[in-house]
A and B are shown apart, each in its own frame.
Chain A
Amino acid sequence: MTSEGHLHRQYINYLGWDLDFTGPQMVLTMKLYALAYNLYDGQVIKSGKEERASKKCASVAVAELPGIIEYLGYTFCFATVLAGPAYEYKYYADACDGSRLYGKDGKPLGKIPSNIWPTVRPLLGSILCLGLFVVGSGKYPLLDPTDPQNNTPMLISAEQLAKPMYARYAYSWLALFCIRFKYYFAWMNAEGANNIWYAGFEGFDDKGNAKGWEVSNNMDPVKFETAPNLKTLSSVWNKKTANWLAKYVYIRTNGSLFATYGMSAFWHGFYPGYYIFFMSVPLIAFCERIGRKKLSPRFDSGNPWGWYSIVCRVATSLIVQYMIQPFQLLAFDWAVTNWKEYYFAGHLACIVFYLVVSQLPTPKKKEA
């Protein structure tokens, strides 16, 4: 009986949430990193200096250092402290003093929308994702469930390596697909917890129309899973981290992709797998660039569900799932062992694709 319970526990709890302070600390780092620039932008704007980056981020600039209570309220904000989303101080402050809903005269700035559906929808979605994660990852675990102590990745276990390449790849695709629902769960859940007190509400435009609930939205699972290219894919995954990297790293380093991916890897932790992944991403980006130049004008009908688009969607998913494997394996030798077992097929495919497609004549641009 006891051993049965033990097995059950091992099976269910293959990758429980091991909690420590690094998760919340990662969120806090984003918040304060952004706040440092928001305060700087506030100063720049106040002094009337011209700085392109500050101008771009003017809507979230902070003119004065917040009081200690406001500051701690932001850094400890219960709705974002565990899993994010790390939105800027301005959004938090406006939600707390009501200035996103009401004008200075106390009158509403527009017709205030109900918060019920924006709260219930992500809550239900998160419960669904939790269920899918538990069932899916139970069926296709990423780490060896029979050996929880060592956390050996299934992808490079002897049992998996005995299988043919396509079967191994199919398994890894499914395992990674299922594990993503853990993130979908945590982020959707946080979205509802912000929307319930209007922290996720964007406010009103000049005409008094409600804008939406993007502030707390951190991802779009459907868009992510069916992304036709890398840009769409990365723009709907962990949006607030992408927003942080774009506003406070990318545009502040004169658009350095290297600095941005480097910072992203640094922020995720000093694990070789992250660097291997982030440094492999440009390979896909090069292929996409050449494809967009040489192939898209020939084949793209503009229909988002045309055959060309579907090919792009499938190709994106297949290549990204291959490249992202080190992200879950983490250790350098595990990542390399894993790729070696595929004979670096994904890398080779990228290089071959690039070499072949770059030889095609560039079609003339249609009259815009």
Chain B
Amino acid sequence: MNSSRLGVITQKRLVIQGCDILDLCTCSDTLTQSLRSLSPVPSFAKEAVASLAESAGQDYETVVYLLGVFLCYPLGLIMLALPYGKLKHLFSFILGAFLLQFTIGVQWIHHLISSLVAYAMFMFLPAKVAKIAVPVWMMVYMTAGMYAGESVPLRMLKTNVHAPP
């Protein structure tokens, strides 16, 4: 009985994430599906977190965030152990992407998109222009995200978004 309930909880969360992505970039269902299958976080981990959240009386997001921030410590130990140079950079990126996937789900794709576009700007624009263009791009992307996604403050302004129908 318990496991099926957990299944429902996990699935609900996934659907919510899927919706966010859909709202934001009007992706097709299939793309959302394929993004979801890219997830490096195994499903058993999600179930474990869901059951932990249930027993602690907290919601999934809160528990996952708390686990995520404390996870930084063992990840930091890995960083410390790695030799100086490119390997550290590579792992910083991979560990960060893992952490984002773990906490905010497939939405981390936004992090990648906005980073890469900014990088292209750095590559092709003169520094004098990039110092204006990159900040503008980042500000616009972030603000658009605040509107399109249901960020916490925005949710507080809307009423009844999560009320049962």
A interface with B by C-beta (< 8 Å):
5, 8-9, 12-13, 16-22, 24-26, 28-29, 32-33, 35-37, 39-40, 42-43, 65, 68-79, 81-83, 92, 95-98, 102, 115, 119, 123, 130, 143, 149-151, 186, 189-190, 192-194, 196-198, 248, 266-267, 269-271, 330-331
Question: Which residues on B sit within 8 Å (CB–CB) of A73?
Answer: 88-93, 96
Name 7 A/B residue pairs within 8 A (Cβ), A-sorted. Answer: A33-B139, A39-B127, A76-B96, A77-B93, A196-B80, A198-B80, A330-B156
Cβ of B143 under 8 Å from chain A: yes
Bound CA span A9–B53, Å: 10
Bound CA span A73–B96, Å: 8
Question: Do most interface residues of chain B lie in helix, strand or loop, or is the interface mixed?
Answer: helix
Extra pairs beyond A71-B115, A76-B97, A77-B92 (10, CB < 8 Å): A12-B57, A36-B132, A73-B88, A83-B69, A149-B160, A192-B73, A193-B73, A194-B76, A267-B142, A270-B147
Nearest opposing residue in chain B for A65, CB measure: B122
Are B135 and A20 in contact (CB-based, < 8 A)?
no
Question: Which residues on B sit within 8 Å (CB–CB) of A36?
Answer: 118, 122, 127, 130-135
Are B72 and A189 in contact (CB-based, < 8 A)?
yes
Are B80 and A78 in contact (CB-based, < 8 A)?
no
Nearest opposing residue in chain B for A185, CB measure: B69
Q: Which of B70, B73, B90, B146 contacts A269 (CB 8 A)?
A: B146
Nearest opposing residue in chain B for A101, CB measure: B84
Bound CA span A291–B95, Å: 50
Question: Which residues on A sit within 8 Å (CB–CB) of B62?
Answer: 13, 16-17
Cβ of B38 under 8 Å from chain A: no
Question: Which residues on A sit within 8 Å (CB–CB) of B58?
Answer: 9, 12-13, 16
Q: Nearest Cβ distance between residue A214 and chain B, in whole angstroms?
A: 18
Are A98 and B84 in contact (CB-based, < 8 A)?
yes
Cβ of B8 under 8 Å from chain A: no
Q: Which of A43, A74, A198, A269 contacts B143 (CB 8 A)?
A: A269
Are B92 and A25 in contact (CB-based, < 8 A)?
no
Nearest opposing residue in chain B for A81, CB measure: B96
By size class, the interface of chain B is 35 or more
Are A193 and B76 in contact (CB-based, < 8 A)?
yes
Cβ of B103 under 8 Å from chain A: yes
Nearest opposing residue in chain B for A192, CB measure: B73
Question: Which residues on A sit within 8 Å (CB–CB) of B130?
Answer: 36, 39-40
Are A76 and B100 in contact (CB-based, < 8 A)?
yes
Q: Nearest Cβ distance between residue A151 and chain B, in whole angstroms?
A: 5
Bound CA span A266–B146, Å: 11
Are B80 and A197 in contact (CB-based, < 8 A)?
yes
Question: Which residues on B sit within 8 Å (CB–CB) of A95?
Answer: 88
Question: Which residues on A sit within 8 Å (CB–CB) of B79?
Answer: 78-79, 196-197
> With contacts A36-B131, A81-B96, A266-B139 known, is A16 near B61, CB below 8 A?
yes
Are B131 and A40 in contact (CB-based, < 8 A)?
yes
Are B99 and A189 in contact (CB-based, < 8 A)?
no
Are B153 and A271 in contact (CB-based, < 8 A)?
yes
Bound CA span A36–B152, Å: 28
Are A18 and B61 in contact (CB-based, < 8 A)?
yes
Question: Which residues on A sit within 8 Å (CB–CB) of B156?
Answer: 143, 151, 330-331
Are B72 and A190 in contact (CB-based, < 8 A)?
yes
Are A189 and B96 in contact (CB-based, < 8 A)?
no
> With contacts A20-B104, A21-B111, A96-B92 known, is A37 near B80, CB below 8 A?
no
Are B73 and A32 in contact (CB-based, < 8 A)?
no
- Interface hits, B127-165 → A, CB 8 Å: 127-128, 130-135, 138-139, 141-143, 145-147, 149-157, 159-160, 162-163
Are B72 and A193 in contact (CB-based, < 8 A)?
yes
Are A13 and B89 in contact (CB-based, < 8 A)?
no
Are B159 and A13 in contact (CB-based, < 8 A)?
no
Are A28 and B85 in contact (CB-based, < 8 A)?
no
Are B20 and A39 in contact (CB-based, < 8 A)?
no
Are B59 and A13 in contact (CB-based, < 8 A)?
yes
Q: Which of A25, A40, A96, A143 contacts B127 (CB 8 A)?
A: A40
Cβ contacts B26-68/A at 8 Å (1 or 0 each): 0000000000000000000000000000000111011011101
3 tightest CB-CB pairs across the interface, nearest first?
A: A76-B96, A73-B89, A193-B72
Bound CA span A22–B157, Å: 16
Q: Which of A19, A22, A96, A194 contacts B146 (CB 8 A)?
A: A22
Are B61 and A65 in contact (CB-based, < 8 A)?
no
Question: Which residues on A sit within 8 Å (CB–CB) of B77?
Answer: 196-197
Question: Which residues on A sit within 8 Å (CB–CB) of B57?
Answer: 5, 8-9, 12-13
